[in-house]
Structure 1
Amino acid sequence: MKRRSVLLSCLLLLLLGLLVSGCWNRREMNDLAIAVGMGIDKADNGQYEVFVQVVDPSGVSARKPSGDRAPVTLYSAKGSTVFQAIRRMTTITPRKVYFSHLRIFVFGEEMAREGISKPLDFLSRDQELRTDFYLVVAKGTTARDILNFYTPLDKIPANKMYKSLEVSDKTWAPTVGVRLDDLITNMTSYGKDAVLTGILIQGDREAGKKKKNVELIETQALLKYSGIAIFKGDKLMGWMNEVESKGYSNLTDNLQNTYVQIPCKSGGKAGVEVIHSKTKVKAKVTNNRPEINVFIRTEANVADVECEMDTSQQSTLHQLEQAAEQVMISHSTKSLQRAQAVGADIFGFGEAVHRAYPGYWNQHKERWSELFKELPVNIQVDLKIVRTGTIGNSFLHDVKE
């Protein structure tokens, strides 16, 4: 009996210990400033200017929203390192900045052209930071301007940027969502260079900084993803336009869903929606000269027909398939030419050579950038239309004049 009482007492003490103990690094939410967006611009004297977009709980609360306060606050500080700037930020923030909920990271274009590797050391080293946020480049502007912006529909601008890129990456080929681990891997690999999606301000830049921007049905300014930034090492070398960015997705097996527009022989346009695509890259070395063969297999639906075309006829569909294949080859070729002009292998063709010919690669990897500029690349596209929609022949040519 006595032994049983002692055992019960020990179990009770153990349970009480579990109840009163806590995590050593536990933090109360009321003591933290939740950062959802972050950016870096180049400052004077070789310094960085770091910006942190912090959520204001009273500004986004569903129960008691504060109509006079912005949903987020933008803090900034300068430092010779990112870590120093963030610590210096404590002189103006009422709470410690907490980075575990970061959604978007923005490099100013000038900063990106100078080099982004040093700031990335902090992002990869800090234990609070997860790596599931997206990184982008402010196209033609600064990180400050992108983060200091009122966005419609979503009160928190960083969330808007994250969601827009996530949706666009899946449905519109000219954008690509890049996370921290992928960026660092591509920057440090000999066989592949990095890319980031660009974001710009469309409309009145100053209007976007004011709350009135979200009080109108037609907003005066919007944040828009536009083009893909080409990096060589850690430096921004140039931009791909929409067509070239589509070609990049074709060549890198990053094409999930997109729209391919085709000119009709009789005038007007038609288009197909790509619903599935798979890209295979094979390297070949002949007489010590590397060559790349790219095979793209694609399934698509007829999206729209704005010309005289009977899609119920198999011969018509075959012509449409061939035309779409040529458009995709053209997009891919233009993307390749843009990257070769700056010697940045953003497609990972060097990795394909490394896998197939490790001996050749070890001898030539140090000068791959120069070899890539003249690299022959053969592109083949096999596109099959699987659905034509609910109608065959378009009604457009039957419309009364």
Structure 2
Amino acid sequence: MRSKIVLALLLSLTVLFNVGCWDVQEINRRVSTNALFFDVDNTGKIKMGTVFSVPGTLLPPVIGTQQQFQKRNYVITAEDNSITDAWSKLQAKSERDIYFGQLRAIVLTENAARGDINNLLDFIGRIPYIPPNTTLLVTKADPKELLDMKNEPNNIPGNYVDLFFQTHSKKTLAIPIDLWRVLAQLDNKTSDPHIPMIKASEGSYDISGTALFSNNHYVGELDLEETKTLAMIQGSSTGYLTVPLKKGDYVAFKDVKSKNDITLERDNNGKVTFGIKTKVSGAIVETNPRKMEITEEDKNVIMSHAEAEINKRISNLFVKLQSLNSDAVGLGEKFRVKYPGEWQKNNWHKIYPNCQINLETRFSIDRTGLFR
């Protein structure tokens, strides 16, 4: 009898824990947003927009219907003096409670990014069910037009962005950064965020380049080639590189991999010097003019030119980053680890622009790409 009572109590207790995936709100009372954008006008008023999927269009198409060709997303917007007030206006425009649990992308306009993004992202950072791996992007375009268009693949914007960055070979064209990492950088102050840029192109999206930040504010951008160089400094496992040779000739590489060793010293006068050793390798994918045979002498010439080209690109990149006072590489973390006392006493953004950068580059050819 006692065992039956104990069993009954145990079974009753399991009800408290086996709640399944249900929340305090019924699922059919929610509408999930896939992407979110923030904009700020000249008066400081905040505009907020959310992207939703059109009900039924994400289901497998029925044979003989035009379902797969229908526009799959729509956007609603609202604006006010605070994000919370704009958010409440958005709620008034939706028949269901807007849910952030399936958010895939957050887009900031250039105007919004020029303000303090730490304040802007405070609203997002306080919502516990927002996925921490949500991708951030910056755009110069009208965000509503950008996210409301029917892109050529006819994929809803958040899923498009998510799929783009799941493709490993694209991560040097626009370096992805998750929401949690940006929030950590803003809190730790040992590096500055660098966020990929997005724009419309030929009826779809062009995700390339990098928005640079300094002290939580957008200060400039890197183009596609500069972004590839930044990825190389950070240690990439895939990438592309074209190396100019003499008389207009060139050789191009794919599967470009890099490893870096960063050291630093501080002299008695407080001068900080970083030594950056970069080892790069790649597979030849194109030569112009075409070479039927690549000799050891050819390889040595190519590697010498590649080292000079990479060294020049990295040097130019650091000149730009330091002129913008943007520590996208994260040298501040290296300084904090080695000189914690100095880190506490000094403002890193006053030290960083005056740091000396010494570069050393080595390049090797993995494959020539010739099979005959």
TM over 0.5: yes
Residue number in structure 2 paired with 1:305: 287
Distance, in Å, in 2 between the alignment partners of 1:87 and 1:178 is 28
Aligned to 1:53: 51
Measure the CA separation in 2 of the matches of 1:195 and 1:30: 38
Partner of 1:189: 188
**Is the Cα contact below 8 Å between 2:233 and 2:258 reproduced in 1?**
no
2:259 maps to a residue whose letter is K
The one-letter amino acid paired with 1:369 is: H
- Offset at residue 93 of structure 1 (A): 0.5
The reply on whether 1:384 has 2:364 as its aligned counterpart is yes
State yes or no: 1:228 paired with 2:226.
no
1:338-349 paired onto structure 2 within 5 Å: 338-349=320-331
Shift of 1:312: 3.7
Identify the residue that residue 200 of structure 2 maps to in structure 1: 201
Which stretch shifts more, 316-325 or 31-40?
316-325
Q: Do the aligned residues in 2 keep the contact of 1:197 with 1:225 (CA within 8 Å)?
A: yes
Contact kept, 8 Å, 1:41 with 1:144, in 2: the verdict is no
1:50 aligned partner, one-letter code = M
Structure 2 residue ranges without an equivalent (≥5):
none
Alignment of 1:1-400 (within 5 A): 10=8, 14=12, 17=15, 25-43=23-41, 45-64=43-62, 66=67, 70-138=71-139, 140-167=140-167, 170-171=169-170, 173-202=172-201, 220-253=202-235, 255-287=236-268, 288-307=270-289, 309=291, 311-363=293-345, 365-366=346-347, 368-391=348-371
- What do the CA deviations read for 1:234-255 (whole angstroms, capped 9, x no partner)? 21101112222222222223x2
CA 1:15/1:270 → structure 2, altered by over 3 Å: closer, same or farther? same
- Which moves more between the two structures, 28-37 or 39-48? 39-48
Q: Which runs of 5+ in 1 are unaligned?
A: 203-219, 393-401
> What secondary structure sits across from 1:153 in the alignment?
coil
Asked whether the 8 Å contact 1:103–1:162 carries over to 2, the reply is yes
Higher radius of gyration, 1 or 2: 1
Please tell me whether the aligned partners of residues 172 and 259 of structure 1 are also in contact (alpha carbons under 8 angstroms). Answer: no
| Cα contact 1:134–1:179 (8 A) shared by 2 | yes
Query: Per the alignment, do residues 25 and 325 of structure 1 end up closer, same or farther by CA in structure 2, a change over 3 Å counting?
Result: same
Task: State the partner residue of 1:217.
Answer: none
SS of residue paired to 1:57: coil
Instruction: Indicate the SS of the match to 2:246.
Output: coil
Answer with 122-131 or 266-275: which moved more.
266-275
Deviations 1:177-228 (A, max 9, x none): 01112112222334311111111122xxxxxxxxxxxxxxxxx422112321
Aligned counterparts of 1:252 and 1:198: Cα–Cα separation in 2: 18
CA RMSD in angstroms, aligned pairs only? 2.7
Is this contact kept in 2: 1:266–1:308, CA < 8 A? no
Shift of 1:391: 3.4
Aligned amino acid, residue 129 of structure 2 = E
Structure 2: distance between partners of 1:20 and 1:274: 48
Task: Give the distance between the partners of 2:105 and 2:361, measured in 1 at CA.
Answer: 35
Question: Percent identity at matched positions?
Answer: 19
Moved more, 267-276 or 347-356: 267-276
Contact in 1 for aligned 2:106/2:136 (Cα 8 Å)? yes
Offset of residue 282 of structure 1: 0.7
Alpha-carbon offset, residue 230 of structure 1: 0.9
SS at match of 1:59: coil
Equivalent residue pairs, number: 368
